[in-house]
């Protein structure tokens, strides 16, 4: 579809509310998904790091006892 002006583009033939609302909801959902995924990744990496440190401490204690 070709628009005569920038105003016509933003008006979307009278359906601007529905079109821009759907774009906004989609952008919000994708942004939320990205943020939640990054937080989960950071949490998992922290848990893995703590577990590796705990295993190293246990291994060091076992070698001291022997």
**Is the Cβ–Cβ distance between 7 and 14 less than 8 Å?**
no
- pTM for this model (two decimals): 0.69
Q: Which two tokens stand for residue 22?
A: 């759907």
> Strands (DSSP E) along the chain, which ranges?
none
Give the chain's mean pLDDT: 93
pLDDT tens figures, 15-40: 999 999 999 999 999 999 999 999 99
Query: What's the pLDDT score for residue 63?
Result: 87
Residues near 13 by Cβ (< 8 Å), separated by ≥ 6? 1
């Amino acid at each position: 579809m070709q628009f005569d002006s920038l105003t016509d583009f933003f008006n979307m033939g009278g359906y601007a509310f529905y079109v821009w609302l759907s774009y906004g909801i989609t952008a919000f959902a994708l942004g939320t998904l990205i943020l939640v995924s990054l937080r989960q990744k950071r949490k998992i990496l922290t848990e893995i790091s703590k577990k590796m440190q705990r295993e190293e401490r246990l291994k060091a204690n076992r070698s001291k006892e022997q």
